Amino acid sequence: MTLGIESCCAGKGRNLKTIRALLLLVTLASAFLLLRGDCLAGLSYEVEVLGEGESGTVVPLVKATYSNGLVALVKESHSSPIVTVDAWCSTGSACEREEQCGISHFFEHMFFKGTEKHPRGEMDRIIKGLGGRNNAGTSVEYTHYYVTVPSENYLTALDVLSDALMNSVFELEEIEKEREVVKAEIRRKEDMPASQVFVVFQKQFAPGTPYEKPVLGFFETLDPMNTESFLGYLAEKYRAGNLAVVVTGDVDVDEVLGAIGEYFEPLPAGRSPYPEFEVPELKENRVGFERKDINQGYMMLGFVTEGLEKSEENLTLDVAVAVLGEGKSSRLYRTLIEEKKLASHVEAWQWALRRAGVLGFEVTFEPGKEDEVVAAVLEELEALSMNGPSAGEVEKAKAMLRTSFAFSTETTGGRSTTIGRAYVTGTLDDCLYYRKRLDSVTAGRVQELVSKYTSGKHYALGMVLPEETYGERASSEE
């Protein structure tokens, strides 16, 4: 599976990819808005239909590009009277300056806290009245805000969402209160070893780059943030060229596109550049750990892969990951849980970012057994690098991935997440042509990639360990 790390919505989701755009044209000056009768405002936009003629739950996908650079992606479906409106911004912890660490996530918490048009109480009242769910998530390279509502309320949802995206006022009093909430979230994570282990891992896999920083930030960097910090961040990041609005479900495409053009008219054009950095190859195995008063050991082991900007490997790595860790018949499940009985949980994933990715393994294991677990994982990787997967394994992996894809795009919320994440990570084509692209993955290519990234390569390892057992381990090694 592909990993999408998000705070807030605890999201490990499946990441899909993209990019070819199937033609179609039409430049509509969206001057005729049905929504507000006499209102003739609105941005003009060009429309393309993506993935036409493909089968699946995310196609055909209508893409509109507005005159200010904003992109809208709409997937209409009418099986349930529900709509998800999901705004994606290409910013996250990797896009922050050193002293701003955590601002993307803190900013996301300040969402829906009031604008001039909709002051705090009024905004609360409207959201309450929507009769649905709203939440948000912040990751390393993107942040998104979504609302799932009965379809009759979706325009109201779009109205408050767009207003909050452009016009939040960030009152100091609200900032002070929310700062405590964000700190509580950091502490909460520290109490959840299965989550904390990722923070420990992150420090090891891309040292000296923005990828090593925790999404939630540090108390020290959060403390000085004030109204100016957020207004500055808003002006810098929340520009049309960084934003995509995804709408899925029971809507009329033309109505949605017109409404987006109207609501987002004041959105400033332009985009903020992605920071310049490279993720170096690891020169040694890097190990970090924390000790806690816990019963089991938690680890993340990962190898650095090429970033999405360079690679066409996304789905091949998905297949590799499925062969290794998806399901009870997968190699790592059989070895670590069934045969060696070292672990109670094992998961393989890839985490694809722009400048680098991770082929990673997450294991919950018996105290004191970390060395054996690492050795067992490396052994499986070596076997896969040497001999490749069998044809049957590859077919099984593909079948499981197809099922996962079908289930993860079953609901409007699932579709908006899949489409939005694929769009902001530049992998929309993998998502639109999922079946075809997956079919073309071969056993040989899987072997090649696993070998390329793991044979003779160094790994990053993060662990959260029970206190006493690490002592035992250290002394037993002497």
CB of 188 to other proteins, least distance (A): 5
| 283 lines the binding site for other proteins (CB under 8 A) | no
| 413 lines the binding site for other proteins (CB under 8 A) | yes
Cα–Cα distances (Å) from 448 to 79, 357, 393, 453, in that order, read 42, 17, 16, 9
Three-state DSSP at 75 gives strand
CB of 338 to other proteins, least distance (A): 7
Angle, CA of 420, 40 and 146, to the nearest 5°: 20
Measured from the CB atom, the residue of 177 and 436 that comes closer to other proteins is 177
* Spatial separation of the C-alpha atoms in residues 11 and 25, rounded to whole Å: 35
Measured from the CB atom, the residue of 56 and 69 that comes closer to other proteins is 56
**The binder of other proteins chosen from 130, 279, 301, 422 (CB under 8 A):** 130
- Of 66-74, 145-153, 162-170, 270-278: span binding other proteins (CB under 8 A): 145-153
* Spatial separation of the C-alpha atoms in residues 361 and 357, rounded to whole Å: 13
Measured from the CB atom, the residue of 210 and 297 that comes closer to other proteins is 297
Q: From edge to edge, which strands make up the β-sheet containing 460-466?
A: 286-292, 460-466, 297-306, 356-365, 343-352
| 183 lines the binding site for other proteins (CB under 8 A) | yes
- Of 181-189, 223-231, 252-260, 266-274: span binding other proteins (CB under 8 A): 181-189
**The binder of other proteins chosen from 161, 244, 279, 294 (CB under 8 A):** 294
Measured from the CB atom, the residue of 43 and 82 that comes closer to other proteins is 82
By the 8 A CB rule, do 184 and 246 touch?
no
**The binder of other proteins chosen from 271, 292, 340, 473 (CB under 8 A):** 292
By the 8 A CB rule, do 369 and 310 touch?
no
By the 8 A CB rule, do 125 and 134 touch?
no
Nearest to 243, CA basis, from 24, 434, 68: 68
* Spatial separation of the C-alpha atoms in residues 189 and 194, rounded to whole Å: 9
Measured from the CB atom, the residue of 118 and 286 that comes closer to other proteins is 118
| 390 lines the binding site for other proteins (CB under 8 A) | no
- Of 29-37, 75-83, 349-357, 439-447: span binding other proteins (CB under 8 A): 75-83
Residues within window 80-119 making contact with other proteins, judged by CB under 8 A:
80-82
- Residue with token string 């593909």: 398
Measured from the CB atom, the residue of 195 and 451 that comes closer to other proteins is 195
List the structure tokens of 6: 């998000």
List the structure tokens of 53: 């003629």
CB of 272 to other proteins, least distance (A): 28
| 172 lines the binding site for other proteins (CB under 8 A) | no
Measured from the CB atom, the residue of 4 and 307 that comes closer to other proteins is 4
CB of 189 to other proteins, least distance (A): 8
- Of 34-42, 92-100, 321-329, 437-445: span binding other proteins (CB under 8 A): 321-329
Measured from the CB atom, the residue of 184 and 231 that comes closer to other proteins is 184
End-to-end CA distance of the chain: 38
| 338 lines the binding site for other proteins (CB under 8 A) | yes
DSSP β-ladder status, 460-466 and 286-292: parallel
- Of 19-27, 268-276, 301-309, 400-408: span binding other proteins (CB under 8 A): 400-408
By the 8 A CB rule, do 465 and 370 touch?
yes
List the structure tokens of 221: 């960097």
| 247 lines the binding site for other proteins (CB under 8 A) | no
Phi, psi of 432 (to 5 degrees): -70, -35
Residues within window 1-40 making contact with other proteins, judged by CB under 8 A:
none
Question: Cβ–Cβ contacts within 10 Å for residue 278, how many?
Answer: 10
**The binder of other proteins chosen from 273, 281, 328, 476 (CB under 8 A):** 328
**The binder of other proteins chosen from 18, 138, 139, 296 (CB under 8 A):** 296
By the 8 A CB rule, do 441 and 447 touch?
no
Q: How many residues bind other proteins (CB under 8 A)?
A: 73
**The binder of other proteins chosen from 90, 148, 204, 425 (CB under 8 A):** 148
Residues within window 44-63 making contact with other proteins, judged by CB under 8 A:
57
Residues 6+ apart with CB under 8 A from 289: 200, 462, 463, 464, 465, 470
Measured from the CB atom, the residue of 38 and 293 that comes closer to other proteins is 293
Residue 166 identity? M
* Spatial separation of the C-alpha atoms in residues 56 and 106, rounded to whole Å: 36
The neighbouring-strand residues paired with 72 are 64, 245
* Spatial separation of the C-alpha atoms in residues 149 and 159, rounded to whole Å: 13
| 435 lines the binding site for other proteins (CB under 8 A) | no
CB of 311 to other proteins, least distance (A): 25
| 337 lines the binding site for other proteins (CB under 8 A) | yes
CA atoms within 13 A on the CB side of 348: 25
- Of 19-27, 198-206, 262-270, 290-298: span binding other proteins (CB under 8 A): 290-298
Residue 82 is inside which H or E element, if any?
Answer: strand 82-89
